[in-house]
Structure 1
Amino acid sequence: MSGGLRVLVNAGPWLPVPPEGYGGIETVVATLVPELRRAGAHVTLATVGPSTLEADDHLRILDEPAFRSIAMPYNRVSGLAHAHMQGVVAALRDQDRWDVVHDHLEVVGPSVLGAMGTAAPPTLQTLHWDLRKHPEFYSRFDGRGRVRFAAVSASQLERAPRNLQEQTLGVVPLAAPPAVSVDVEPGEHALVLARITADKGQDLAARVCRRAGIPLVLAGPVAGIGDPAELERRLADGDEALRAHPDVQYWLDEVRPLVDGTSVRWVGGVAGEAKERLLRSARALLTPNRWAEPGATGVVEALSRGVPVVGTPLGVLPSLVEHGRTGFMAADEDELVRRLAELDRIDPRACREAAEQWTPAGMARQYLDLYARLLEANPS
C-alpha cells in the first residue's frame, strides 16, 4: 500500500524537522517522510514552526520548539505536549482527510488519539524510548486494536511490558539519513555524537580517550543549548533554572573538568556539512552508553560512512555492531581503552556493507506494510 495513502506524521513539539544538530526522533521523521512520499503516500507533518522538511502539508502548532523545557519539573511543562496534541485533535476533527496517523510523541500521543476512538484515524506509534519508562501507562493502555505500536529494535521490545508487546505490530529498525557530500581527509579524533547527558557517557569517553592517547570531540547540545558560548554566558549570568537542569549539572560536575580544548573538545551542536566532516574524518564513533539505547541512528550513520563504532554492549548496540568486524563492544573502561588500540583491524568497507541493510527506502517499505495491516484490521 502506498499510492493515494494519506498519512499524518506527528513529530511532536520538541524540535524542528529536520533538527538543527541533535534530534533523534526528528532525524528519523526527516529520513522517513521523503521516502513515504517517494512511494506515493500523501504526507502531512505535524510539527513546530521552524521545521523546513518538505511535505505535502504541515500542521505547525507551536511557533517555537519546546526541547529546552523538556527536563524541567512536570508541573511547568506538562502543558506543552498537550497543547501540541490539542492542535492535532482539532485538525482531525475538522478535516476528514487522513487514512492513518503515524505518531512519535511519547505517551501523550497514543493516550489522546486512543481517547478519540473512531473520531481519529487508526494510529501507529513508533516507540523511540526505553520501554521500562512509564510502566503504569504501558502495562495498562488499551488501544482497542485502533492504536498499535512499532518498536525500533528487538532488544527494545524485549524490555516492554507484555501488554505493550501484545499491541505491537512489528519491529522497524532505524535508518540513517542520506549523507551530505563532502571531501574530507582522515582525522585522528574519536567522536561522541549525542546530547550531553549521563546516559550517553561523555565523561567515560573522555577518560578512555585520554588513556588511549586519542583526541576526542564531543558534539551535541547541553540542555538543548548547542552553542558553547551561549551556555557559558547564561551560566555566568546566574541562570539558576538552567544550572538546575540535570544535564547541565552533569556537564559541570563530570564532563567540563575533562574538557581542555586539545585532548578533549566540546564543539556544541553540529548539523549538515559540519557534522558530516566530523563524522567522516573520525577514527571511531564512541557510544559508551549507560542505558539500553533502543535505536541509535548515529551508529548507522557512522557505519554507512565507513567509521567503526566502539561502545558498551547495551540495548540495540550489539545488534548493530559486529564485534571485531565493524567495531567493538566493551563492558568496562579498561576494555574500551584496549579496543581503541585495535581500530586498525576494522575495514571501512565492512562497515559500509553492514549498513546497507538499514536504508531509508527499506524503513519506509516496512512502515507502509504496517500501515496496511493496521488499516486491514480497522476497515472504514
Structure 2
Amino acid sequence: MKVLMDAGPWLPVPPHGYGGVENVVATLTTQLQQRGHQVVLASVADSALPVHERVAAFSSGQFTRLAGPYPEVVGLAHAHEQVVVDTVRRHARGGHPFDLVHTHVEVVGPAVLGALGAAAPPVLATLHWDLRRNASFYETFDGDGRVFFAGVSASQLARAPERLRRQALGAVPLAVPPSRHRQPATAAERRPEVVVLARISPLKGTAVAVRSARAAGLPVVLAGPVAGRPDEATLRADLADPRTGLQGDRDVRYFLDEVAPLLDGIHARWIGTVTGQAKDDLLRHARAALFPIDWDEPGGTAVCEALTAGTPVVAMARGCLPSLVEDGVTGLLAEDEAGFGDALRRLEDIDPAACMAAADERFAPAVMAEAYERLYGEVVSRTGGPAGPQPTTSAATESPW
C-alpha cells in the first residue's frame, strides 16, 4: 500500500526531544516500511526519518510559535495541509496515486482533505487529543464516507460526540520502540529519584508530582519543556523578548507561579527536555515515573515509554491511564493528591520485570502497525478501493512509482 503519512508542521520526525505524536508517527512509519508499504512523509524539512519521499511547508518545527498571537499562528496548519494537497495531486497526475492518507493533524487535516471529496484518496485521521477542545468541529463534521477516524484509546472515543463516534473505526493504543535492554535495571542500579517525563503544564499535574514526591521523601526530576522551550536558558531568553508572546502563556505562568517555587535544584529540579540516550538512562534508572494528570489523557506515550523501560508508573486514574497501567502490577493508580502521595510510599510493591513484560506484549511497534493495517484495509474497502493493504515481503522489492 502507498500511504501519505501526514505528521503536521509542529516538530520533526522523530522529534529531538518532546513530541508524543511525532514519536508515534516515527514508530509507525518505520514499521510500515519494514512490512513493505511505501510511505511519503509530510512533516518539516529537518525530519530525519528515512522515507521514500518527504514533503514540507516549513524548514523546521513550528511548535514554539503556537504561544504567539492567534492571527499569527492560525495559518500554520493550513500552510502545511496545502503542501499535503499538492502532493496528493502531484502523485495522482503521475499515475501513481496514494491508496490512503493517514493524517495526524488535528481538525485541519480531516477538514481540508475531506473538502476534496472524491478527488482525494481515502483518509484515516488519528485523534491524539482531548476531543472536547474542538467539540464544535467534531459534532458537525461529515467525512462523507471518505474520511474516517481512529482513536488512541477506548476512553477517548467514549467521550467523543456521537457523529464522530459513527465515523470512528476503533482505537489503536500507542506504541514505542522496545528498550535496548532486555532486563529492567536492578534495585542497586536505580537512583533514588522519581521522574516526570512530560511538558510542564497544569494538565500534567506537575506541581502535584513535586509536592507528593517531596512529602514522600523522594527526589524528583522534571524532564520536559515549558511552552515548547527545552531548557531554562531558552525560556528566560524568550521571556525577555515581548515578541514571543510567552508572558501570558498559561503553561509559563503555571511554571513560574506554582512549580518553580517548589524547586531547589537538589531534591526537586527541572532539567528540561531530554532525548536519546539521556532519556533512556533517566527512565531506566528512575524508581518510578509519575503522571498526576489533571485531565482525561487520551493516549499516554510517556506511560508506554516508562513501562517499556521496566519502570513502574504512578498515575491518576483518569482518561486512558487505567487502560495502560494495571493497578498493583505495572503501577499504582490514585484518585487524588493524597492517594498519589500514598502510592509513592508503596513503590516496592511493583515488579519492574512485570512492567517490561506487559509493555513488550501490549505496546510493541508491530502490534500498532498490525492494527493500523487492519484499519487501512477497512478504509479502502469502505471507499470502494482495493480489498486492503497488500504489503510485499520487502520494501526493496517494490517497483518504483
Q: Pick the TM interval, shorter chain.
A: over 0.9
Alignment check: 8 A CA contact 1:180 1:272 kept: no
Alignment check: 8 A CA contact 1:92 1:119 kept: no
* Alpha-carbon distance, 1:180 to partner: 4.6
The residue type paired with residue 81 of structure 2 is M
Which of the residues 39, 42, 46 maps onto 2:42? 46
**Structure 1 match to 2:58:** 62
**Structure 2 match to 1:365:** 370
**Structure 1 match to 2:120:** 120
* Runs of 5+ unmatched residues, structure 2: 386-401
**Structure 1 match to 2:200:** 196
* Alpha-carbon distance, 1:281 to partner: 0.5
The residue type paired with residue 369 of structure 2 is A
Q: Could you tell which deviates more after superposition, 350-359 or 361-370? A: 350-359
> Structure 1 181/323 Cα, relative in aligned 2: closer, same or farther at 3 Å?
closer
Alignment check: 8 A CA contact 2:314 2:340 kept: yes
> Structure 1 39/242 Cα, relative in aligned 2: closer, same or farther at 3 Å?
same
Asked whether 1:29 is paired with 2:29, we answer no
* Alpha-carbon distance, 1:237 to partner: 5.8
**Structure 1 match to 2:334:** 330
How is 1:1-380 mapped onto 2 (pairs within 5 angstroms)? 5-96=1-92, 97-180=97-180, 185-236=189-240, 241-355=245-359, 356-380=361-385
TM-score, length-scaled by structure 2: 0.91
Q: CA RMSD in A?
A: 1.5
**d(CA) in 2 for partners of 1:377, 1:333:** 47
Alignment check: 8 A CA contact 1:102 1:124 kept: yes
Alignment check: 8 A CA contact 1:192 1:219 kept: yes
> Structure 1 333/91 Cα, relative in aligned 2: closer, same or farther at 3 Å?
same
* Alpha-carbon distance, 1:73 to partner: 3.3
The residue type paired with residue 17 of structure 1 is V
CA offsets, 1:212-247, max 9 Å, x none? 000000000111110222212333566672222211
* Alpha-carbon distance, 1:55 to partner: 1.1
**d(CA) in 2 for partners of 1:131, 1:105:** 13
Q: Tell me the matched-pair count.
A: 376
**d(CA) in 1 for partners of 2:73, 2:276:** 30
> Structure 1 232/325 Cα, relative in aligned 2: closer, same or farther at 3 Å?
same
* Alpha-carbon distance, 1:343 to partner: 0.4
**d(CA) in 2 for partners of 1:155, 1:140:** 21
**d(CA) in 1 for partners of 2:324, 2:83:** 37
* Alpha-carbon distance, 1:163 to partner: 0.3
> Structure 1 238/95 Cα, relative in aligned 2: closer, same or farther at 3 Å?
closer
Q: Could you tell which deviates more after superposition, 172-181 or 48-57? A: 172-181
TM-score, length-scaled by structure 1: 0.96
The residue type paired with residue 65 of structure 1 is G
Please give the secondary structure, in 2, of the residue aligned with 1:148.
strand
Alignment check: 8 A CA contact 1:27 1:177 kept: no
* Alpha-carbon distance, 1:63 to partner: 1.2
**d(CA) in 2 for partners of 1:166, 1:108:** 19
CA offsets, 1:30-75, max 9 Å, x none? 1100100111100000000110011111112211211012233322
Alignment check: 8 A CA contact 2:67 2:246 kept: no
**d(CA) in 2 for partners of 1:74, 1:232:** 22
